[in-house]
Amino acid sequence: MSTRLRIAIQKSGRLHDDSLKLLKDCGIDLKNGINKLKTEADNFPLEVFFLRDDDIPEYVEDAVADIGIVGENVIYEKNRAITISEKLGFGKCRLSVAVGRNEIYTGHQSLQNKKIATTYPILVERFLKEKNISAEIHEISGSVEIAPGIGLADAIVDLVSSGSTLFMNGLREVETILHSEAVLIRHPELGAGQQHLLEKLLFRIRSVRKARHTKYILLNAPNEKLKEIIALLPGMKSPTVLPLAEAGWSSVHSVVNENDFWEIIEKLKSAGAQGILVVPIEKMIL
């Protein structure tokens, strides 16, 4: 059988859709039937396993899958012998300490001798040890946010993204233990064939991710303002400048980073740029 790369992704949940979208954006078409345990790609030697996120590090460690997509929070809690290959920029959240809205909290020393409910006992234990605090960790498997309300704990440590779950349960976020996002993990020792396929996949992932943060920009500029306008547009090498049919005017093409985007647009306008078009880029190969 020819060499294939086996990837484990979440079967359902918060990372499922973005993981599939990433593969799709990398030009990988999966055969139908994503509700099954596994599927494969039509146009890339890739087999996809659908698993619970908590099991993914173990499958990769045991070489049942070569690579996987999972949150950093799961990796650090599970402590498996796997390697992080690439941050993927989605599934962002933080693992935070929260206490009752009206509780006094003056710093981590306020946790001394308290009861903390969490689904992340290993990370919490490490945090307490680092801070030299002794507290009782109460491991529960879900709905951590109700623990203080029912008298099970004085504080909780849980994942937070918008903060609305904490707010709705009368809790207040007081300290962050870990920032997390989805990452691509790999078995530490892949065969030469799998290693080669992983490099191909990583090349595509980086191109897709770079493109997501970059826009293609086209504008018209009076020639006497070109120098000033070009100085605002770094481009990949330098901007492309083409003459317009109307004498004295040029069309300038370049790429801009999404983060600098509005700032640059304003400066371009005040420098005399007109007819500014901004379009998404699908892939970006540098």
Residues that bind ligand PRT (CB under 6 A): 10, 13-15, 52-54, 71, 73-74, 91, 93, 158-165, 180
User: Exactly one of 18, 47, 54, 61 binds Zn ion (CB under 5 A); which one?
Assistant: 54
Choose between 142 and 248: whose C-beta lies nearer to ligand PRT: 142
Minimum distance between the CB of residue 113 and ligand PRT, rounded to whole angstroms?
26
Name 70's bridge partners: 183
Determine the residue with CB nearest ligand PRT. 71
Residue (7 or 268) nearer to ligand PRT, CB: 7
Among 16-24, 45-53, 87-95, 123-131, which window interacts with Zn ion (CB under 5 A)?
A: 45-53
Of 53 and 72, CB closest to Zn ion: 53
Apex CA 71: angle with CA 196 and CA 194, to 5°? Answer: 10
Which residue lies nearer to Zn ion by CB, 69 or 226?
A: 69
- Does 53 bind Zn ion (CB under 5 A)? Our answer is yes
Nearer to ligand PRT, 163 or 272 (CB): 163
CA dihedral defined by 147, 119, 110, 94, rounded to 10 degrees? -110
Give min distance, CB of 88 to Zn ion, in A: 17
Q: Which does 129 bind (CB under 5 to 8 A by kind): Zn ion, ligand PRT, none?
A: none
What is the C-alpha separation between 16 and 11, in angstroms, rounded?
A: 6
**CB of 7 or CB of 74, closer to ligand PRT:** 74
Residue 162 binds: one of ligand PRT, Zn ion, none (C-beta under 5 to 8 A by kind): ligand PRT
CB of 85 vs ligand PRT, minimal distance in Å: 16
For residues 214 and 121, the answer to whether their CB atoms sit within 8 Å is: no
Residue 194 interface partner, choices ligand PRT, Zn ion, none, CB cut-off 5-8 Å depending on type: none
Amino acid at 108: H
Handedness of CA 3, 194, 191, 7 (dihedral sign): negative
Minimal distance in Å, beta carbon 74 to ligand PRT? 5
Q: Which one of Zn ion, ligand PRT, none is in contact with 164 (Cβ closer than 5 to 8 A by kind)? A: ligand PRT
Nearer to ligand PRT, 73 or 207 (CB): 73
Q: If binding means CB under 5 A, how many residues of this protein chain bind Zn ion?
A: 2
Residue with tokens 């004295």: 248
Interface with Zn ion (CB under 5 A)? 53-54
